[in-house]
Structure 1
Amino acid sequence: MTPEDCSPDTSSCVSPQKKRNHSDTETDITSETDSPDSDRQCKRVHYDQSESSLSRTDSESPVFLKNIPKYTSKWTEEVLPCLRIQVAQDFPDMHNVFLQGCLHFIADPTKCAEIMDLFVSKNDNEQMVIECFRHVMQNVFTLHCDDISNVKLDELGKMENMLTSREWIDNFAERSQNKKFCRRVFKDLAKKLQQFVWQLMHMVRKSQNQGKEISEGMYQELFVLFAKTFNLNILSGSNVEKYSLDIGDDGRFVAVPDAVICHPTTEEDNLCAVVEVKKYWSDEETSNQTVRSLRKCERKISNPLHVGSDLQGQHVGQILCALPYSLFGERGNFGILVQGTKVTISSFKADNSYYKNLQNGFLMKKGATITFSKECNILRKEGRIECIQTFLHLKKLLEFLSKKSFP
């Protein structure tokens, strides 16, 4: 969400102070960085890398924090090289990003092999769940458009009536070997998708009938309801706490994710994914001056095309601050970016000891990589289908590593 909509994350964007060495060059930073109106302007911050860790060949490279904002909601891609973080130059399909992340996060080869087998082998019930999801997302929830401005209320009304009908459930279940299980899956899925449709109806009425702007919070709620159709435990809003990262003696950075996905019943927080929601996507035309300015900045980034400069920095900052709570330890974590109704999966993969070295203020040739997937629009049939395997496997991974199942 934007800094304006997330007050805990933007109350005081003060850059950490460090003693200035004579060898430091002047930092080019726009004058509005710490001004009250800074959130309404497009900031381009050039961080001092005169002794950048990327150019050092010695065993210890200090982390330079000068002018890096305290709150990660103000980070851009320019922060990432200072922390030895690279953005992968390709963006594979969503499930490939998920699998690549798993292979890196799970250090134990035996456990990693078990997880891969878990994803490949499916019993009859698991296969039935996938078939049920595919059928509903394609043939019952039939919405197929690019954005909410193209959604028609009467079409949503028809889908809601369809979801409450038992006819399509009985027709499909009769062809199934396990009719009882099939009906149970369909009923649960229909109930959750009905709530998704209600939220969509609310957003369409606000936009089309009342002429009001759809808020970022509405998009956030829409994605939360979509994730819950896969029985993922997703916490959002006031349920999400602040996460902080200390680098060296004088660098403290703070992040407030829009949502997190975790196991519902474990004693400690085990985050499986950090979620960030934005109202707009980079190719959207809008009359809003703030967003137009933001898009102008984002066009300077070449790859990935659908994740802008500011969003890259903010998203990595959130994952980095929440890393101690990762289900996978300090080896990394998954992220989910939501831009309007378009969903992107990311995996943040860190080298061994990267996080500990970062906390100490030095990076000993250790780095990290963030990989973004292609985006999937959940208003389109193929976009919803693309999400099924990844989201179901995300839940399965949570249960396997926590050794606890949940509904």
Structure 2
Amino acid sequence: MASKMVPVVSVNRDRVSVTVLTPIHLDKNHWKTTEWTGELLSQLNIKVDQATYEPHDLFTSGYVKTFLKQKQDKKISGFIGRISRNENERVYRNQCIIRALAEVICIDCVSVDEIPAFKMIKIESGLQQLEQKENHEKLLLLGSKHDGSINLDYTCNSLQIWLSQFVQQLSLMVRKRKKGTPEEITEGMYQELFLRFIKMFEIQIIEKSNMHPFIIPIGQNRIAATPDAVVQSLSCKDLENDNSIAVIKVDKDSRTEREGEEEGEMGSRPKKLKTDPVTSAPLCQLIGDMMAVLPSSVLGSWGIYGFLVQGTKVTVVSLVTDEGYMENLNQGYVAVGCEATVKCSKECNILTTEGRRDLIQTLQDMTDLLQYLCDKRNQDSP
């Protein structure tokens, strides 16, 4: 039986303020992030914003808030400067990826079951023909002509490799569903499909089979988490662990847990994420994994991103903490007014043309931000 919670008062003389700390009493059922619930999020002062955001707006506001909280405004201007200096290359990559995801992968369906088998055969045939063409012909098909300062061959060939891998995985899933006796599509198949999709953006992924469990110390408790995958940089050489930017959670059930539109005096209002019973179990589990990976984030222990993958639908998630939040949590306390805030984007279905396009800018900028932070760290290290 949990002991009675008694507030602990801590006086900070420098700021002439009083902080009320409340001990955290965890149920053994919550010692793994796979068991996290909305009730536990509330107990840990983790607030889930009930609005939904555009993926790129959520991504941008996430790193900006994180750097502002750390009083590192120069990182914001530095990243913007890097984008400006590499604008030509970014425009080319963007055009290349847009054409590949809209014209080469000419699929606009809601689910795997809706994709005709002949469509996949046609796409695979087109990719095979593309592989046989000379480099300059590939560039004309996948992107647009550009100046010689950009390594077009590398950009094109790298994209084409992962484009083919993505199509192969999707084709496998379609064939399983089109059999006389359709086979079940497993969670692992959905995970592989998403990972091949984001690898088109030259993103480095560490999967569960290659990682040790992450641990969240909460007082005397140790909460274990092994995410499905983590987005990391392999170029951060000065600090071995602080190189993660996003956590991936996959759930094969693509059904959304959304409320229906609410009718009011002004008519229908936007759908909102439920809160537990409220907040969905997969989202709670992803937040737990994000908390575990947070200490190794390239953004510092102030923020990290996540991808909640439900079937072929992807939700971008951001987590930003207040000053002192993680220190209090590690000591087994939460403080009044000191919290972690989670925001979620709208769902983006990677089987729809619109869904793929909605993720392009976010994934491209995430790759660039990770590279910028790691390059800067390597330059600053002795």
TM range (shorter): 0.7 to 0.9
Equivalent residue runs for 1:1-400 within 5 Å: 20-21=2-3, 23=4, 59-66=20-27, 68-106=29-67, 107=70, 108-119=72-83, 122-166=86-130, 169=138, 171-172=140-141, 176-178=145-147, 181-209=151-179, 210-249=181-220, 251-267=221-237, 268-269=240-241, 270-283=243-256, 303-304=272-273, 308-365=279-336, 366-400=338-372
For each residue in 1:347-379, what CA deviation from the matched residue of structure 2 results, as whole angstroms up to 9, or x when unmatched?
Answer: 110001100110111223311101011111111
Q: Distance in 1 between matches of 2:193 and 2:144?
A: 33
Structure 1: state its 5+ residue gaps: 1-18, 25-49, 284-294
Change over 3 Å in CA distance of 1:220–1:363 after alignment to 2: same
SS at match of 1:214: coil
* CA 109–70 in structure 1, closer or farther in 2 if over 3 Å, else same: same
Residue aligning to 1:290: none
Show the counterpart of 2:13: none
CA distance in 1, matches of 2:327, 2:206: 27
Q: Is the 8 A contact 1:104 1:331 kept in 2?
A: no
- What secondary structure does 1:142 align onto? coil
Equivalent position amino acid for 1:375 in 2: E
SS of 1:280 mapped into structure 2: coil
**What per-residue deviation string (whole Å, max 9, x for no partner) do you get for residues 289-340 of structure 1?**
xxxxxx6xx869x832599521221111111112211111210211111110
Q: What is the CA-CA distance between 1:174 and the residue it aligns to?
A: 9.6
How many residues of Structure 1 are paired with residues of Structure 2 in the alignment? 343
- The answer to whether the 8 A contact 1:240-1:258 is kept is no
Give 3-state SS (helix, strand or coil) of 2:222's partner.
Answer: strand
Q: Cα 1:353–1:123, aligned 2, differ >3 Å: closer, same or farther?
A: same
Q: Secondary structure at the match of 2:342?
A: strand
Aligned equivalents of 1:319 and 1:121: distance in 2? 32
Higher strand share: 2
C-alpha separation in 2, matches of 1:120 and 1:105: 21
Shift of 1:207: 2.2
Structure 2 segments unaligned to the other structure (5+ residues):
10-17, 261-270, 378-382
Tell me the SS of whatever aligns to 2:341. Answer: strand
Counterpart CA distance in 1 for 2:147 and 2:44 is: 53
Match of residue 33 from structure 1: none
Contact 1:77 1:312 in 2 (8 A): no
Q: Is the Cα contact below 8 Å between 1:63 and 1:363 reproduced in 2?
A: yes
Deviations 1:208-251 (A, max 9, x none): 215211100011111111111111001113013211112112x2
Q: Which residue is equivalent to 2:268?
A: none
Alpha carbons 1:344, 1:374 under 8 Å: kept:
yes
The residue identity in structure 2 corresponding to 1:138 is A
TM-score (norm 2): 0.82
Question: Against the structure 1 CA distance between its residues 138 and 197, is the aligned structure 2 distance closer, same or farther, given a 3 Å change threshold?
Answer: same
Which residue identity does 1:82 align to in structure 2?
Answer: Q
Alignment-mate amino acid for residue 224 of structure 2: V
The sequence identity of aligned pairs, in percent, is: 31
AA aligned opposite 1:260: V
Whole-Å separation in 2 of the counterparts to 1:58 and 1:229: 47
Q: CA deviation at 1:186?
A: 2.8
